[in-house]
């Protein structure tokens, strides 16, 4: 090979041959040559480029892994936003979607849809300039993603140069995933090395693609399917249908899902959904539903978008996965307010693509209602990232030695008595801050983003601070010194200094944040804001009677008793005094319901769903409350608006079902300016 008269021409010939065989293998799944012959060509190209480094090109298959590890991922703004899809969870949701499409298009007959599996992976956008891969980014928040170009180049199914002749720039969209076979091999290797194993293929794919060192990504068995385009600045018009677009992508050497079909009408959509669902466990990759898209691109443009999601597409999710498991034991965990939560310890079982060994049992009432016993065979359900739960017992499989679950009489952590108030489902440890478990959870809550927002005070650090008796109450945090913190595990001098600064910064807070951070039973963010609005200051609130507390909107006897009891406990009064002595300050405000009524958004109830641009949902919620609005966690007929960001959840579906106005982020900006917009959908 080294004797070749024209090394550049010979290298180009080898690259063309290798690209052809990559297309046959990765896109068509129809290889023409044995692996040994492919390896021979690749080795020949490597040797040629090593002897003549001046002929190496960026799109050479030898250059898939190159460059030093990145310090961080650079932000990339998408040429066209990567929109999320509305979700449907039932046949009724699909029929409603089809009806809306036909009504908006004025179609009396059946609409043609492109249907394809909804892969459970990581969405990416790849930019090709004049046919050459120039950039790749994750979806991110839909507008800005992370630069993963070096890592994307390592995936063999991604062509470094598109087939054919190209001029201009185009963004193609796809889903990176890890096939089950590769996932199992990856975990087997990790287990053999004693490394941590991945929970499911989606986590494995996301973690692999976001490696700072592309050499690590290259070792991971990643694959990709392409399903659409974003920015189109290439020669020629876009294809007239989604099906034709997929055909165009395949012609360029971009792999598309072989399960994609064109169907006509809602009944055909349901038939496709049922058929794919029946074969779901036999597919070589993980899916969690079906995506339907109006096939005609002209109709897509007519339908347009609403609340950052296209009106011409729907993600029809499969029902929650269920599996049988053996209940080995029930343990009780102690939460921030002393509530004991029973947790089922199960024989490990795969549910919804994840290995499940724990499940919630909620409370003793739930255990008794379902008659759950240790040793039972139980049905475990997991939907998406929701905590697995035990749905029911399989009584015919109950062994003779099955044991009833008993509520412990004493706290499993501190040994204090456990009490169960008549009429309440919860059982509580009465140890308070003398209980290490409650102390840890209380400190985590106090430092959380929506409370005092102490950045860097994570779970492991809280564990150490409590276990070493360095912190027994929130006020102790303000006496910590950098030298003490630097001695803790995984803490250096710089981290310790940063944490001391973060703790100091939390001294300047607001009354609603402080009330929420104190962890008063039954007092969430909305109640904390209502109490602050009504009483104006902490002293007036602490002195209020239960009757006065019930004058606050939406506060009944139970919450009033909880708040009154908190402020009339000597230990809590001492802690508040210590916090003030530690330098905590918060602005006092005018008291009374009239103040809230004078705010521009008074009387509105707003629900937020999805990811917002430029701010978190918590930040938006705080700004809305400051303007007088009530921010709720669930949608009801009393909801004034639902604000939908990127990847909205089921709250958006419920809003549409109840005909609640839905706002996009432009309308949210009007709200935050104190104006009441009309609905945007």
404 and 548 together in one domain: no
421 versus 7: the higher-pLDDT residue is 7
pLDDT in the model for residue 170: 94
pLDDT in the model for residue 594: 46
Report, as an integer, the average pLDDT of 36-41: 76
396 and 329 together in one domain: yes
Q: Is the model's pLDDT at 602 over the cut of 90?
A: no
For 137, the token pair is 């980014």
Report, as an integer, the average pLDDT of 232-256: 92
pLDDT-above-70 percentage for the chain: 93
Domain boundary among 589, 621, 648: 589
pLDDT in the model for residue 101: 94
- Give me the long-range contacts of 101-105 (CB less than 8 A, separation at least 24): 101/294, 101/303, 101/311, 101/312, 104/302, 104/303, 104/311, 105/299, 105/302, 105/303
3-class SS of residue 91: helix
Residue 411 inside a domain? The answer is yes
pLDDT in the model for residue 589: 67
Per-residue confidence at 1, pLDDT binned at 50, 70, 90?
very low
3-class SS of residue 78: coil
pLDDT in the model for residue 353: 64
168 and 298 together in one domain: yes
Task: Decide: 538 and 514 in contact? Cβ < 8 Å.
Answer: yes
Report, as an integer, the average pLDDT of 138-167: 89
pLDDT-above-90 percentage for the chain: 46
Domain boundary among 289, 317, 345: 317
CATH number of residue 610's parent domain: 3.40.50.10190
103 and 188 together in one domain: yes
Distance of CA 37 to the CA centre of its chain: 44
Q: Which of 202-216, 405-419, 503-517, 530-544 has the lowest mean pLDDT?
A: 202-216
Domain with 488 in it: 432-505
Report, as an integer, the average pLDDT of 205-230: 89
- pLDDT, tens digit, 9 for 90 and up, residues 273-314: 999 998 888 899 989 899 999 999 999 999 988 756 899 999
Residue 605 bridge partners (DSSP): 630
446 and 585 together in one domain: no
Q: Which of 62-71, 358-367, 542-551 has the lowest mean pLDDT?
A: 62-71
Residue 626 inside a domain? The answer is yes
Cα dihedral sign for 255, 261, 266, 268?
negative
Residues known to be catalytic: 118
Residue 624 inside a domain? The answer is yes
CATH number of residue 120's parent domain: 3.30.470.30
437 and 456 together in one domain: yes
Residue 75 inside a domain? The answer is no
Residues present in the chain in total: 681
Per-residue confidence at 464, pLDDT binned at 50, 70, 90?
very high
282 and 398 together in one domain: no
524 and 618 together in one domain: no
Q: Is the model's pLDDT at 67 over the cut of 60?
A: no
Task: Decide: 676 and 661 in contact? Cβ < 8 Å.
Answer: no
SS3 of 281-339: the string is HHCCCCEEEEEEEECEHHHHHHHCEECCEECCEEEEECCCEEEEEEEEEEEEEECCCCE
Mean pLDDT (the chain) is 87
Number of domains in the chain: 6
pLDDT in the model for residue 35: 63
390 and 378 together in one domain: yes
Q: Is 298 exposed, middle or buried (0-12, 13-18, 19+ CB in 10 A)?
A: exposed
213 versus 261: the higher-pLDDT residue is 261
Residue 425 inside a domain? The answer is no
Residue 645 inside a domain? The answer is yes
215 and 108 together in one domain: yes
Residue 359 bridge partners (DSSP): 344
Task: Decide: 650 and 89 in contact? Cβ < 8 Å.
Answer: yes
H or E element at residue 578: helix 570-581
CATH number of residue 550's parent domain: 1.10.150.20
149 and 222 together in one domain: yes
Q: Is the model's pLDDT at 211 over the cut of 90?
A: no
226 and 158 together in one domain: yes
Nearest-angstrom CA–CA distance, 209 and 178: 10
Half-sphere exposure (CA, 13 Å, Cβ side) for 567?
Answer: 17
Nearest-angstrom CA–CA distance, 426 and 418: 10
Residue 81 inside a domain? The answer is no
Report, as an integer, the average pLDDT of 110-128: 94
Using alpha carbons, select from 285, 90, 73 the residue that is nearest to residue 178: 285
- pLDDT, tens digit, 9 for 90 and up, residues 314-341: 999 887 677 889 999 999 999 888 899 9
CATH number of residue 334's parent domain: 2.40.50.140
For 208, the token pair is 């692999």
Residue 73 inside a domain? The answer is no
Q: Is the model's pLDDT at 69 over the cut of 60?
A: no
- pLDDT, tens digit, 9 for 90 and up, residues 572-595: 899 999 999 999 999 876 655 445
CATH number of residue 19's parent domain: 1.10.287.610
Report, as an integer, the average pLDDT of 429-435: 82
Domain boundary among 258, 287, 317: 317
């Amino acid at each position: 090979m080294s004797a070749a008269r024209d090394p550049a021409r010979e290298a180009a010939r080898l690259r063309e041959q290798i690209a052809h065989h990559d297309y046959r293998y990765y896109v068509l799944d129809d290889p023409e040559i044995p692996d040994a012959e492919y390896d021979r060509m690749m080795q020949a190209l490597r040797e040629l480029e090593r002897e003549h480094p001046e002929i190496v090109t960026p799109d050479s298959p030898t250059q898939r892994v190159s460059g030093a590890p990145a310090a961080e991922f650079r932000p990339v703004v998408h040429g066209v936003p990567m929109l999320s899809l509305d979700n449907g969870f039932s046949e009724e949701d699909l029929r409603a979607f089809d009806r809306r499409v036909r009504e908006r298009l004025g179609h009396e007959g059946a609409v043609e849809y492109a249907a394809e599996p909804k892969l459970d992976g990581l969405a990416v956008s790849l930019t090709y300039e004049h046919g050459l891969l120039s950039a790749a980014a994750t979806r991110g928040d839909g507008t800005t993603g992370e630069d993963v170009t070096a890592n994307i180049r390592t995936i063999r199914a991604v062509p470094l140069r598109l087939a054919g002749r190209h001029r201009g720039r185009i963004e193609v969209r796809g889903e990176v995933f890890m096939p089950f076979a590769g996932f199992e091999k990856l975990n087997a290797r990790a287990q053999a090395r004693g490394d941590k194993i991945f929970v499911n293929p989606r986590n494995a794919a996301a973690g692999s693609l976001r490696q700072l060192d592309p050499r690590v990504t290259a070792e991971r068995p990643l694959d990709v399917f392409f399903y659409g385009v974003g920015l189109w600045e290439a020669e020629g018009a876009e294809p007239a249908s989604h099906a034709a677009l997929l055909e165009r992508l395949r012609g360029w050497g971009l792999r598309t899902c072989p399960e994609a079909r064109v169907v006509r009408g809602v009944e055909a959509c349901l038939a496709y959904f049922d058929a794919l669902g029946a074969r779901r466990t036999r597919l070589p990759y993980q899916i969690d539903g079906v995506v339907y898209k109006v096939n005609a691109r002209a109709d897509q443009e007519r339908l347009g978008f609403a609340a950052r999601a296209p009106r011409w597409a729907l993600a029809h999710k499969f029902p929650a996965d269920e599996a049988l498991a053996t209940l080995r034991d029930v343990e009780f965990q102690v939460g921030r307010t002393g509530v004991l939560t029973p947790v089922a310890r199960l024989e490990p079982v795969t549910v919804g693509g994840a290995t499940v060994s724990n499940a919630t049992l909620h409370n003793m009432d739930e255990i008794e209602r379902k008659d759950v016993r240790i040793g039972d065979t139980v049905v475990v359900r997991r939907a998406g990232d929701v905590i697995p739960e035990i749905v029911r017992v399989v009584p015919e499989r109950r062994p003779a030695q099955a044991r009833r679950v008993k509520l412990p009489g004493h706290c499993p952590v501190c040994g204090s008595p456990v009490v169960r108030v008549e009429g309440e489902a919860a059982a509580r440890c009465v140890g308070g801050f003398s209980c290490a478990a409650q102390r840890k959870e209380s400190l985590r809550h106090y430092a959380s983003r929506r409370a005092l927002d102490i950045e860097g005070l994570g779970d492991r650090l809280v564990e150490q601070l409590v276990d070493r008796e360095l912190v027994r109450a929130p006020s102790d945090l303000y006496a910590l010194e950098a030298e003490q913190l630097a001695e803790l595990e995984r803490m250096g001098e710089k981290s310790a200094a940063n944490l001391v600064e973060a703790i100091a910064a939390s001294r300047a807070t607001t009354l609603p944040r402080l009330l929420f951070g104190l962890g008063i039973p039954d007092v969430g963010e909305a109640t904390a804001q209502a109490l602050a609005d009504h009483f104006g200051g902490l002293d007036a609130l602490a002195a209020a009677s239960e009757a006065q507390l019930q004058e606050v909107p939406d506060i009944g006897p139970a919450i009033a008793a909880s708040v009154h009891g908190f402020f009339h406990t000597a230990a809590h009064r001492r802690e508040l005094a210590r916090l003030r002595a530690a330098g905590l300050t918060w602005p006092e405000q005018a008291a009374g319901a009239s103040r809230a009524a004078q705010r521009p958004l008074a009387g509105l109830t707003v629900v937020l769903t999805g990811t917002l641009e430029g701010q978190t949902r918590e930040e938006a919620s705080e700004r809305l409350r400051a303007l007088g609005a009530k921010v709720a966690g669930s949608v009801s007929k009393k909801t004034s608006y639902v604000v939908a960001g990127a990847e909205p959840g089921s709250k958006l579906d419920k809003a549409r079902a109840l005909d609640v106005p839905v706002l996009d982020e432009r309308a949210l900006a009007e709200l935050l300016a104190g104006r009441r917009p009309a609905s945007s959908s």
